[in-house]
Structures are given as structure tokens and as C-alpha cells.
Amino acid sequence: MKKVDIIHGGWLKAPNGASSVLRTLAESTSKFEEYGIQLSVYSMDLIVLKSFENIAAINQRKGLRYFIKKNANANSILAFISIYAIYLRHARKIVKYYFDQGLEESRILFIHDIFTCYYYLKYRSRRQKTVLVLHNNGDTFNMLRQYYPVLNKSRLYSILLYIERKVLSEVDKVLFVAENPKDTFVQLHPDIPIEKVGFVYNGILSKEMHICPEKHLGPLEICCVGSVSKRKGQDMIVEALVKMSPVQREKVHFTIVGDGTLRGELEKLCFEKGISKYIDFIGVSNQVKNYLLRSDIFMLPSRDEGFPISILEAMRAGLPIISTNIAGIPEMVFSGINGIVISPCLEDIYDILCHIESYNWSAMGKLSYELYQQKFTLDSMIESYANILNAI
């Protein structure tokens, strides 16, 4: 039995895609055993218990943390303090915890974020095979640059580039969660041997889901699930609603599930523009399945992604998808087949909403479900990862 360890500098219950994938892997150890792999998972859950039920209240809590979060996108020092607080310190802590377990025998390390991988490589006493999975668009720190635009002009950015160089030079395999991000990475890093790079599609567990019914009376219900941020693009949904005529608005209703730095600002804007009746901000919820099942369409207008789990969950629920032509999304959504692919810009979002009745959304939703079953199940993901891990 080949021993494989996952080290994760985050919490498995955290409301983000990478944690969702790792939580699924942690719950699938018996399936890995069928491929001769004994999988163990070490995450921050083993060190500190953390609840993610009151994220909105925490985000609005005044104090030093609030000040840093509010100003980190414009101040490079605060940006790096924020990156350290959110990523680096937890990565370092879980790696220390892992080494404290005294695991000396030969194992394969299966790590899903670059900062945890960096600390593992920095502190390891013996060389063991290491597989790094990056849940991004192929540009390692693009997501951080989206959250902290000041990084683009900061000399401190060289610290991140050093971490990237060290990790990429020492890992045995670099995997991505879709082919497009892998191709982007290869273009950006021509010095990395092509045989060292690959991809495995994210997959989710098949659950008993009701395929969405034929169009009901009233406005089309459109669901968007994700952190409320510039990166996910909910601001463009609000701007498009503002731009639409009252008659056009009556054809749609949005439910935004998730929380984040932009939520308060967008709710205020909706109130000021008199469009609050067309969009509900739910916040973090453990009832995402119910919101999906009562919807006609799923929309994710992201500016930056890897391979969104939220789209897979919508496909599993039989929803047609409106999303953007970035990273792995065009490998999930085929325009005119199981949804519509647009550019991450206000004009395209406005246009699709104004012509929302021009498409057969019910037929596209059925094809979404079929595509999920064909390519994006949990069994498919586990088999792909197991084959790679066994080949190392």
C-alpha cells in the first residue's frame, strides 16, 4: 500500500473551492485504498477548531484586522501582512505540526497550495516525492493580484516570486485542475519540463438531485454562489441591473449566496438605485443545494478562476450555466450547449440579461447534468489522481 499524505494550510470546512476538494478527498480514503493508496490528511482542523458560520459579522468587526483588510488592496505592506495572516502563518503551522508527528518512512506528499508546499520543502530533512496541485488559472499569484492590486507595483512581490521559483524547482509534479490553466502555466514557465506538468479535473460526489423543471411562471431565477468580491464579479451583475430598463428587470431575479468584502457595498448600491427587489444577498449558507434546485440558471461572472466547484454543483443540479471565458470554465461550459460563455465585462452581462428569454435554458440544463456525469464525478477525479500518484 503506497502511503500518501495531504498537508493543507487551511480548514476543510472553509467556503472555498480548494478546501471543498480536499474535504471530499479526505472523505474518500476508502476509494483511494481500492487503488492501493493509503491517504492521510493533515489540515488546520487538527490544530484549531474554527467556525465559518459568522463570516459576515467577523468581516465587519472593527479593530486592527478590519483596518488591515480594508486598506490592504492599496498598501503593499498591509497587503503582505494580510497574505501572511491568511496564508503563510497557517501553512507554516500545519507543516510544523506534520513534522512533529515524526513521520520518517517513505511517503508521497500531495499538497494543494503553494505556501504549504514552500514550507514543507524548506523544512524537510529528507527528499520525498512531492505533488503540487494549483487551483488557479495557471498564473500562480494572479488571484492575489486581483485581491491586492498594489502587488503589481510592489517590490515585496519579489518575495512571492522567490517562493514560486523554489517550489517549482523542487516538486516532482505540478498539476492543475483543468487543461487551460496547465497550458497557461507552460507558456509562462517554458523552463519547467513539460512531463512534470499535468491536470486533473475537479470532481464532486453524485447526490440525489432533482433536475430543474421546465420554466415556471414569473421571472427567471438566477443563482450565483461564491465569495462576494471583485474576483467573482457580482459587482457587474448589480451594475447590469442598474443599467437595465424596469421592463427588462422584471424578467429576472438574482440570489447571491456567499459573503465577502463587497457585499455591504453592493447591498447599499442596490438600495440607493431602487433595485433591491431584483436581487437577494443571502450570505454564507449550508443550504446551497436548495437555492440551486429552486433556480432556473446559474451565473458566475468571475474575472479570475481555476475550475469552480460552484459550477460543478450547479451542473449536478441540472442548471444551465452563464459564466466567463477564463481558465478552466470553457472546459465546463460549452456556449449554446449547456450554457453561455461570455467575457468578464459589464457589456456582455448586460446583453445576456437583456436577451435572457432568447435561449432554451431547460434543454441546456439537461445537457449540463449529462456533461457532469460524463466528466466531473468524484470517481473520475480519484481515479485520475490515483493513477498519477501510483506512477511516481
Answer yes or no: is pLDDT of 208 > 70.
no
Ramachandran region of residue 327, left (φ > 0), alpha (ψ -120 to 50) or beta?
left
- Average pLDDT of the chain is 92
Buried b (16+ CB within 10 A) or exposed e, 295-304: bbbbbbbbbb
Number of residues written out for the chain: 392
- DSSP E strand boundaries for 22-81: 37-43
**Which of the two residues, 270 and 70, has the higher pLDDT score?**
270
Answer yes or no: is pLDDT of 56 > 60.
no
Q: Quote the pLDDT of residue 106.
A: 78
Phi/psi of residue 224, each to 5°?
-130, 125
pLDDT band at 253 (very low <50, low <70, confident <90, very high): very high
One-letter amino acid for residue 11 of the chain: W
DSSP for 147-162, please give it. H-GGGGG-TTHHHHHH
Lowest mean pLDDT among 87-101, 159-173, 196-210, 344-358: 196-210
pLDDT band at 162 (very low <50, low <70, confident <90, very high): very high
pLDDT band at 41 (very low <50, low <70, confident <90, very high): very high
Under 8 Å between Cβ of 120 and 7: yes
- Which triple of cell numbers denotes residue 382? 480519484
Answer yes or no: is pLDDT of 60 > 70.
no
**CA 259 – CA 306 distance, rounded (Å):** 19
Answer yes or no: is pLDDT of 70 > 80.
no
- Which triple of cell numbers denotes residue 146? 486581483
Q: Quote the pLDDT of residue 125.
A: 84
Under 8 Å between Cβ of 201 and 311: no
Answer yes or no: is pLDDT of 225 > 80.
yes
Q: Name the DSSP class of 258.
A: B
Crossing angle (nearest 10°) for helices 17-26 and 309-316: 70
Q: Quote the pLDDT of residue 71.
A: 78
Q: Quote the pLDDT of residue 144.
A: 93
Answer yes or no: is pLDDT of 367 > 60.
yes
Under 8 Å between Cβ of 20 and 1: no
**CA 296 – CA 363 distance, rounded (Å):** 11
Enumerate the β-bridge partners of residue 224.
256
Answer yes or no: is pLDDT of 61 > 70.
no
